[in-house]
Each structure stands twice: as C-alpha cells, then as structure tokens.
C-alpha cells in the first residue's frame, strides 16, 4: 500500500438501488416508509448513513482507521441517482509506525450539487 500524501484525491461513484436501501433499513433499523416504500417513480430515499458509506469505501481502499468522521447532509439522495464521492488528504503527519491524517470529503449528485460534505480524521498503519 502506498503511503497517504497531502493533496491526493480519490473518487468513487455509485448508484444505490431500492434493494440496497431496503437491506440497509433492515440492518440499521431505519425503516421509515421513505426508505422502504417506492414513490410513483419507483424510487426510495437513501438513508444518510448509507450515503456516508461512500467515504468509508474510499478509506477502506487505503486501510484507514477513522477516529473522527463529521458529515453534513445537504439534500436527499434517491435510488437510481448517480453519486460521486471525492476524498482529498488535507494533512498527513508521518509517525514511527503510522500516518495520521485529515481528509475532506465531498459527495455530489449528477448535477454537481453537494449531497454530503465532511471531514475524516484517522490513521493508516505502516506496513511491517
């Protein structure tokens, strides 16, 4: 695994399905009708914390252990909508056995409007 570098940006895009939102509703207990009963267009609203799994996927790619995650939700995401999440290492401090970092996160809909923004602080262990 390559060490984190200040300014490094990663991107992940996905489109949530009705089935995924309903599965998350079962797992999380957030089974409000808006998440489980499709509207007239066959869509459901994606849970905020399911949307927040996008930055955790990017962190998982780098072996991140998050110590703090702060997210602001700007507007709802619906199934069938493409969402692109970008994470950028803002600061990286090298220690003997790890890297400590802070990253900025922005998830946007297909119109380029932010649906989620936030910061992630944590560490990445150095390879032995």
Q: 37 in a domain, yes or no?
A: no
pTM for this entry: 0.93
Give me the CATH number covering residue 103. 3.10.129.10
Q: 30 in a domain, yes or no?
A: no
The pLDDT score that the predictor gives to residue 128 is: 60
Please tell me the total count of domains within the chain.
1
Tokens of 125: 């262990």
| CA nearest to 93, candidates 63, 126, 55 | 126
Q: 27 in a domain, yes or no?
A: no
Q: E strands of the chain, at which residues?
A: 9-15, 65-73, 82-94, 98-109, 114-125
Summarize pLDDT for 67-105 with one digit per residue, the tens: 999 999 999 999 999 999 999 999 999 999 999 999 999
Q: 94 in a domain, yes or no?
A: yes
Summarize pLDDT for 26-35 with one digit per residue, the tens: 999 999 999 9
Using only the alpha carbons of the chain, give its radius of gyration.
16
- Summarize the confidence of residues 40-67 as an average pLDDT: 96
Q: CA 29 to CA 27: how far, in whole Å?
A: 6
Per-chain mean pLDDT for the chain: 96
Residue 22 has pLDDT above 90, yes or no: yes
Domain that holds residue 97: 9-15+46-125
Apex 58 CA angle, 56 and 61, nearest 5: 110
Residue 2 has pLDDT above 90, yes or no: no
């Amino acid at each position: 695994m390559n060490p984190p570098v200040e300014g490094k940006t990663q991107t992940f895009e996905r489109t949530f399905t009705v089935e995924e939102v309903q599965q998350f509703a079962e797992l999380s207990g957030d089974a409000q009708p808006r998440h489980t009963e499709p509207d007239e267009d066959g869509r459901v609203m994606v849970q905020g914390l399911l949307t927040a799994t996008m930055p955790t996927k990017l962190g998982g790619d780098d072996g991140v252990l998050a110590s703090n995650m702060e997210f602001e939700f700007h507007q709802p995401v619906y199934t069938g909508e493409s969402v692109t999440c970008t994470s950028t290492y803002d600061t990286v401090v090298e220690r003997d056995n790890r890297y400590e970092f802070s990253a900025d996160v922005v998830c946007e809909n297909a119109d380029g409007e932010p649906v989620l923004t936030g910061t992630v602080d944590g560490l990445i262990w150095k390879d032995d």
